[in-house]
Structure 1
């Protein structure tokens, strides 16, 4: 087995683990928010969400983009200058700790002013409490990014995806059962983040992943900040893109439109789950290959990984795209059915983002962080301009079209510069065949306008679609040898014998 296959199998294993952790986190986060929303008033739940929004903005600024740059930098230093890895880790941790403390103080002192902006004075007291979670959040993010640079997913899944949401849910349940006042929610949020950080640090020390020492290397620090600043602005731009639709719908339309759109948007964003999960382990592995100057291997890993992400995402996308009304009704109820068209448009936008592969992370790996920032700047401007034009005409569908087009713009820009710098692109011949087969089949189903209202008929249609897709994929010989090697590795790991499938694959590879 060559090193490309080994790298792909490591990424596949990490993707599965991170995907599980992400689903666990989403489910427990949903439960916590549901309990808070049901137990407290609508306005109090609004204050909770506003405080988290403000805290999220502060977190982006406090971490200085290190959460995106450290995985690449740690992996790069481990390959090129292993003796300086400890200095890099210590310097990054000190910078983030100090910056997060500064922004905690700013949040506390400016709480009243922020509350006046939102015309919600209860927000001031909430911010003065929840601001204390900022240093814990920042250091959790940095520590997990460092562990990511070592090619590990354990710390993210155990602590960020399992321990924190579980602890927060339990504390919220206790508070609501004992009928504690609303401010209790903010206190337990801080406690949950503090406990998660302490548990994470103890575990890192226990497994001796890296040492803790006070060492501030100004040369390493300044280089890291310069490299990370475009990623900081990129984080801010992404935040702007995520909230522009909601804010402009509220301005041009109504709160009802905002509610409908925010039923469709989170469902469409789930389409990215495998891309995001794969990127977590792709960055350190590809960074080490880049440090060794092995661009061709990165290109091969990129193409096969993009194909795998697409194959995993296709069933989820098919459900959302073919049956948006049923999907909306299942999660939010029939009163949100009007958002079905917006959900379908958003699904196309996020699927476009997915099928182009990890282009943004690849630009970070090769050190071209500015192109990520510029791409997101174009996308944010496109989103704002299109929202101004389309929301007054088409409402939530206009907002969805704006987001879909802006994601397309960002991905075309990133992919263009990635190809220009490295000749890396996602479109292998086998991947192109899979894309044609899948979208032709989806187009046929959509064209014949299947009007079914029974969920079992929809499941049957989906199963038939996937079976035909699988058959045509094999018939077109879209299977690579690395696909077979991954299948054999999974078979060995599960200790099962799948002779029929292996005989079938041998005929079509």
Structure 2
């Protein structure tokens, strides 16, 4: 009997290690897509006028607000039910499900396009305050059709566990978008919209071959009302719970567009994505945390759940803090170097948003914990609370303070989300944060910022050399302070290693930095 228990435990840990490895692979390709997308944004900022840049991203936010209506949660339903159909060898149901999703999404897209097309002129003049918005709006709407196909293909790949194909969809799309943007950039924002449309078509054409190779189209099938109800029964709740995420993602840009100018939208659209690069760290931690917490909680190892969450919150804060210090100390240098002098007015907004990402990253840990212990409804309540705070504050602050008001709205909303999330996690999982250790990390970050700020004031070198020397010194000061204060210990690294895979480079660096102090 003990041998059987050990075998089950070993199998369980092998599954979690496999899940973590797959999460890292998907995350790695997602990072590639983010990197290419960020390069595209830099390219556009340096080739479009400030108003054209703001116009394109204002239209993108407006279109993005209706993304959920297009999907209705049905893509997630495909990813959910395809594995079940495969286990039961019901390939006909897979084909029928894809057909149902195609029909429903086609109808919603047609309805949306007809509505916006009928009022395109009024929307362009009243909302975007520019007639140049009309062709961009129409082209971005038309891209919904090819996008529908490749996003469905992506969900099918996920359901079939073709993770390489699943993870490659977005990097391929954004790479083609970048390439076609270079070709059509002389047409301004309209040319970029054309690039998005063509890239969506090309991506769909390329992925169709892989989709066809799955053999789904060759089987006989029959569309049934019961199957449609099953898909919608899963998809609609997902759709409802995702509304909050869409509100958080797009309403700030929408509100800025409505109350302020396209130039301010442009400024915000360099500050926001630059600060969001910090979310790479919370994404990495979440990739490990979700399968780990799920496994430990299912085994009723609640103490390990608490220990895991506490350690991961410390590691996340330790990873993000030096980069927040850099962004807060050198916002002008970073923005001018990447985007040019025209965007320097976004510097203070970048500082505020960078600090806000600390709280959002902590919120991600709480969200992942609640999902891992099987409390998705609580997560949904938490998301809607944060979205409501964000929307209300944007409506109150943006008309008066512009993009600075939107940045503070995000800061307060994310702080509120972290506080509420901490309460929920304490109630449902009995987990509290190690505030003393987190304070040490924040203190180490403050020391790093002070070192960088002092060197910036003392050095009289060229800007780039000054930036590099200050950042190197600041990060060295941060590591030294965190090590001396024992903000992170070698036992933390050993715990995470024992529960799942840590990427080799991260493991080596962590061991090298914290071995001595933990000995």
2:117 is aligned with 1:108: no
The correspondence for 2:175, drawn from 148, 166, 169, is 166
1:220-235 correspondence to structure 2 within 5 Å:
220-235=230-245
* Residues 252-278 of structure 1 deviation map (CA, whole Å, 9 limit, x = unaligned): xx5555444333222111111232355
Distance 1:272 1:212 in 2: 42
Contact 1:477 1:508 in 2 (8 A): yes
1:60 is matched with which residue?
A: 68
Moved more, 83-92 or 359-368: 83-92
Distance 1:402 1:182, change over 3 A: closer
Distance 2:444 2:509 in 1: 29
2:36 is aligned with 1:28: yes
1:83 is matched with which residue?
A: 88
Once the 2 structures are TM-superposed, how far is the Cα of residue 406 of structure 1 from its aligned partner? 0.7
Distance 1:86 1:433, change over 3 A: farther
Once the 2 structures are TM-superposed, how far is the Cα of residue 452 of structure 1 from its aligned partner? 1.0
2:472 is matched with which residue?
A: 460
Distance 1:126 1:422, change over 3 A: same
2:6 is matched with which residue?
A: none
Moved more, 282-291 or 462-471: 282-291
Once the 2 structures are TM-superposed, how far is the Cα of residue 439 of structure 1 from its aligned partner? 0.6
Contact 2:271 2:350 in 1 (8 A): yes
2:415 is matched with which residue?
A: 408
Contact 1:151 1:284 in 2 (8 A): no
Distance 1:260 1:293, change over 3 A: same
2:123 is matched with which residue?
A: 117
The correspondence for 1:134, drawn from 144, 153, 171, is 144
Contact 1:74 1:85 in 2 (8 A): no
Distance 1:236 1:478 in 2: 39
Moved more, 190-199 or 10-19: 10-19
TM-score of the aligned structures, taking structure 2 as reference length: 0.75
1:441 is matched with which residue?
A: 444
Distance 2:219 2:294 in 1: 24
Contact 2:113 2:141 in 1 (8 A): yes
Once the 2 structures are TM-superposed, how far is the Cα of residue 402 of structure 1 from its aligned partner? 1.5
Once the 2 structures are TM-superposed, how far is the Cα of residue 171 of structure 1 from its aligned partner? 2.7
1:377-388 correspondence to structure 2 within 5 Å:
377-387=384-394
Contact 1:62 1:100 in 2 (8 A): yes
Gaps of 5+ in 2: 1-8, 458-465
Distance 1:451 1:501, change over 3 A: closer
2:463 is matched with which residue?
A: none
SS, match of residue 459 in structure 1: helix
Contact 1:264 1:339 in 2 (8 A): yes
Contact 2:293 2:372 in 1 (8 A): yes
Contact 1:96 1:139 in 2 (8 A): no
The correspondence for 2:200, drawn from 193, 199, 220, is 193
TM-score of the aligned structures, taking structure 1 as reference length: 0.76
Once the 2 structures are TM-superposed, how far is the Cα of residue 90 of structure 1 from its aligned partner? 5.4
* Residues 174-216 of structure 1 deviation map (CA, whole Å, 9 limit, x = unaligned): 445xx67976654443332233234335335657899987555
Distance 1:249 1:8, change over 3 A: farther
The correspondence for 1:202, drawn from 200, 209, 214, is 209
1:376 is matched with which residue?
A: 383
Distance 2:133 2:249 in 1: 20
Once the 2 structures are TM-superposed, how far is the Cα of residue 240 of structure 1 from its aligned partner? 4.6
Q: Report the number of matched residues.
A: 493
Distance 1:464 1:259, change over 3 A: same
Contact 1:18 1:277 in 2 (8 A): no
